[in-house]
Amino acid sequence: MSDKTAIVVGAGILGMATARALALKGYKVTIIERSQQSLGASIRNFGMLWPIGQPDGPLYERAIRSREVWKEYLKSAKIPFDPCGSVHLAYDNEENEVLEELYEHFIKSQRPVTLLNSETIQKKFKGINNNNLFSGLYSSDETIIDPREGIKNLPTYLKTYYNINILWGTAVTNVTTNTVWSFKTKYNADIICICSGADFETLYPFKFKELPIIKTKLQMMRFVPNDNNYRIGTSVCGGLSLLHYKSFTASALLDKLKTKIEIELPQYLKHGIHVMVSQNNKGELTVGDSHEYGLDFEPFDNNYINELILKYLKKLIHIDNWTLQQSWNGIYPKMTNGATDLFLKVEPGVFIINGIGGNGMTLSFGFAEEAVAKI
């Protein structure tokens, strides 16, 4: 057994992915988490493993690698998942032109995409609104899990297969080289990785202020269909999502679509809204989301934002027989300089691994392997 030791601060998806990567490198790993279970952004999302949103090259490859690790874990733990892919729907000529251009680009990149006409979409998927529907770009890359179930069971898997321990309910109050403090109790390790999302601000406040990083608040909802047998058959997105993900900047016509949306739907851009729906193995439908940027936020959901999301969603899919079950918000850190992640050595043996924005489910396992390889 290796005598190398590591501590990971934070038991969200990135913290647990980092712990796994360290264990693979031969470290005896302990995760320290202030809550009694994972409660942050890692369980407050769509559950989408989303390669379609990542541009060609390292980020797309990172997403595919992360998906491989997820499936390895989910199969071992016997947790259901749905490799249902995704479809981006076009309801006007500008959206359709962007999808046609993206289809040609992704085909050249050898991605598994198909451009579907409205008739095929109606036959292939359930509940799609066919009114003014032009086309849909279908990708088979995407997989859906229930993030709450997936994250809840991940610690047991890490313990069983990688001998990783987690100290729950233990707040880290200070970090120095080789030492993590929880009030008067100290824990020693050769390597310390800070993976506590926006909370690393409390451990390295001056470093946080120096970095080009900001916090993002999102709003989401969960519905249940009145019909227990209802399955859409894929994850559904609309034209607003084409403005959200970096992979879609491959379209030269995207600026034309953005100008149109700025004129017709300025309130959606103001609140950073793009509308998507995923369906987990229980049939529950996760809908969202919005993006508010700042350093502090009110703890309350904004009902106006939820109403905007649902108004746009009705353009994409029939939701009359859905019942609202929950609404919530989540907060995650995001780089403001265009960087897609943060890997930073803050003192000898202490590293901050962070800053992957809203891509934690999609990129964490791959990013963690890459980051640990640099240590």
**Mean pLDDT throughout 35-46?**
88
**Mean pLDDT throughout 344-360?**
93
Is the pLDDT confidence value at 200 over 80? yes
d(CA 75, CA 57): 27
Please give the pLDDT value at position 140.
98
Does residue 155 lie in a domain region? yes
Assign 40 a pLDDT band (cuts: 50, 70, 90).
Answer: confident
Does residue 59 lie in a domain region? no
Pairing relationship of beta strands 5-9 and 276-279 according to DSSP bridges: unpaired
Q: 323 phi and psi, to 5 degrees?
A: -115, 125
Please give the pLDDT value at position 54.
97
Please give the pLDDT value at position 26.
97
Written in H, E and C, the secondary structure of the chain is: CCCCEEEEECCCHHHHHHHHHHHHCCCEEEEECCCCCCCCHHHCCCCEECHHHCCCCHHHHHHHHHHHHHHHHHHHCCCCCECCCEEEEECCHHHHHHHHHHHHHHHHCCCCEEEEEHHHHHHHCCCECCCCCCEEEEECCCEECCHHHHHHHHHHHHHHHHCCEEECCCCCCEEECCEEEECCEEEECCEEEECCHHHHHHHCHHHHHHCCEEEEEEEEEEEEECCCCCCCCCEEECHHHHCCCHHHHHCCCHHHHHHHHHHHCHHHHHCCCCCEEEECCCCCEEEECCCEEECCCCCCCCHHHHHHHHHHHHHHECCCCEEEEEEEEEEEEEECCCCCCEEEEEECCEEEEECECCCHHHHHHHHHHHHHHCC
| pTM (predicted TM-score) | 0.95
d(CA 341, CA 357): 8
| Percent of the chain whose pLDDT exceeds 70 | 99
Question: What is the total count of domains within the chain?
Answer: 2
Q: Do both 282 and 220 map to the same domain? A: yes
What CATH number does the domain containing 119 carry? 3.30.9.10
Assign 199 a pLDDT band (cuts: 50, 70, 90).
Answer: confident
Does residue 65 lie in a domain region? no
Q: 264 phi and psi, to 5 degrees?
A: -90, -30
Q: Do both 173 and 200 map to the same domain? A: yes
Q: Do both 304 and 268 map to the same domain? A: yes
Tokens of 375: 């240590």
Is the pLDDT confidence value at 371 over 80? yes
Q: Do both 219 and 312 map to the same domain? A: yes
Q: What is the extent of the structural domain holding 165?
A: 5-46+148-211+338-373
Neighbours of 108 (CB within 10 A): 10
Assign 4 a pLDDT band (cuts: 50, 70, 90).
Answer: very high
pLDDT digit string, tens, across residues 273-285: 999 999 999 999 9
Q: Going by C-beta distance under 8 Å and a sequence separation of 6 or more, which residues neighbour residue 202?
A: none
Q: Do both 178 and 299 map to the same domain? A: no
Q: Do both 274 and 180 map to the same domain? A: no
Does residue 277 lie in a domain region? yes
Please give the pLDDT value at position 41.
83
What CATH number does the domain containing 185 carry? 3.50.50.60
Please give the pLDDT value at position 158.
97
Q: Do both 166 and 248 map to the same domain? A: no
Q: Do both 101 and 153 map to the same domain? A: no
Q: Do both 125 and 221 map to the same domain? A: yes
Q: Do both 345 and 323 map to the same domain? A: no
Mean pLDDT of the chain: 95
Tokens of 82: 């749905």
Please give the pLDDT value at position 73.
97
pLDDT digit string, tens, across residues 129-181: 999 999 999 999 999 999 999 999 999 999 999 999 999 999 999 999 999 99
The answer to whether the beta carbons of residues 322 and 313 sit under 8 Å apart is: no
d(CA 185, CA 374): 29
Q: Do both 167 and 262 map to the same domain? A: no
The answer to whether the beta carbons of residues 352 and 333 sit under 8 Å apart is: no
Assign 251 a pLDDT band (cuts: 50, 70, 90).
Answer: very high
Does residue 56 lie in a domain region? no
Is the pLDDT confidence value at 105 over 60? yes
Does residue 52 lie in a domain region? no
**Mean pLDDT throughout 18-29?**
98
Q: Do both 254 and 366 map to the same domain? A: no
Does residue 54 lie in a domain region? no
